Amino acid sequence: MAEPTLDVVDKSAVGADARQFHIGVAPGEVSTVALLPGDPFRIPLIASFLDDVVEVAHNREHRTIVGTYKGRRITATSTGMGCPSTAIAVEELARVGVTSFIRVGSSAALQPGIAPGELLVSEGTLRNDGTTAAYAHPGYPAVPDTELTVALSRHSERIAAAAGSSSHRGINASDDAFYAETPEWIAQLNRLGVLNVEMESSALFVVARLRGLRAGMVCSCSSNLVSGMSLYGDTHGLLHAGWLRSIEAALETAVELEL
């Protein structure tokens, strides 16, 4: 018996000019730069900085708004938690016209002397996730755009200092399994000099590089895993203040570089 002929779908081509299946956004509805928080309930924090805000879509964990900051059109889309949903958001936003991405999230510090609410700018990510393994060789680096990162770091330092806080930059890690981060793993990352750990940037950086896009990340420190401060401590007020500073730094970077 003859083998059936397969009509295999090419996901890289299907739906490229349509309203996107997961984020619910169509071409022409967004700007060329997008801020990416993880949590859809942090989208209103970004909206508080913008004028003429319009909600474009809210599908699953992906909530998208567009507004203006200092005359520049800005998009914000929540990615949800982890690399799989982040990769989807970046892929689909790129299909509808976004060319630059800045993640504004939460991250736990891995070095002493970093307090909740302080800013953490990524210079590259240790890929401890499964999503990017589907995209690239294990040795392929997850690195942000250099010019974007330099500007983001400069604005983060200025804004943090004005608030009596601090900003740090360095290598971070992206993990898939929040509750599988053992004391041994945290200690190993600390010994490697890794600054902080979160769950999204490796996918953001790898997908952006492969698609010819620009990406960066600034996070608010949520806790310090080598100083005995977990997310279950009383740090939310400090974390919230850091979110606001990270958003301002990202917006100032978008305006300066005309992203």
Domain ranges of the chain: 33-257
pLDDT confidence of residue 2: 73
The mean per-residue pLDDT over the stretch 223-227 comes to: 96
- Reported as a single tens digit per residue, the pLDDT across 209-224 is 999 999 999 999 999 9
Mean pLDDT of the chain: 96
pLDDT score of 234 more than 80: no
Whole-model pTM: value is 0.96
DSSP string of the chain? -PPPPP----TTTTTTTS--TTT---TTSS-SEEEE-S-GGGHHHHHTT-EEEEEEEEETTEEEEEEEETTEEEEEE---SSHHHHHHHHHHHHHTT--EEEEEEEEEE-STT--TT-EEEEEEEEEESSTGGGTS-TT--B---HHHHHHHHHHHHHHHHHTT--EEEEEEEEES-GGG--HHHHHHHHHTT--EEESSHHHHHHHHHHTT-EEEEEEEEEEETTTTB-TTSS-HHHHHHHHHHHHHHHHHHHHHHT-
Is residue 1's pLDDT more than 90?
A: no
pLDDT at 235 (0 to 100):
74
Return the CATH superfamily for domain 33-257: Nucleoside phosphorylase domain (3.40.50.1580)
Q: What is the pLDDT of residue 203?
A: 98
Which pLDDT value is given to residue 230?
82
**Residue-level pLDDT at 233:** 72
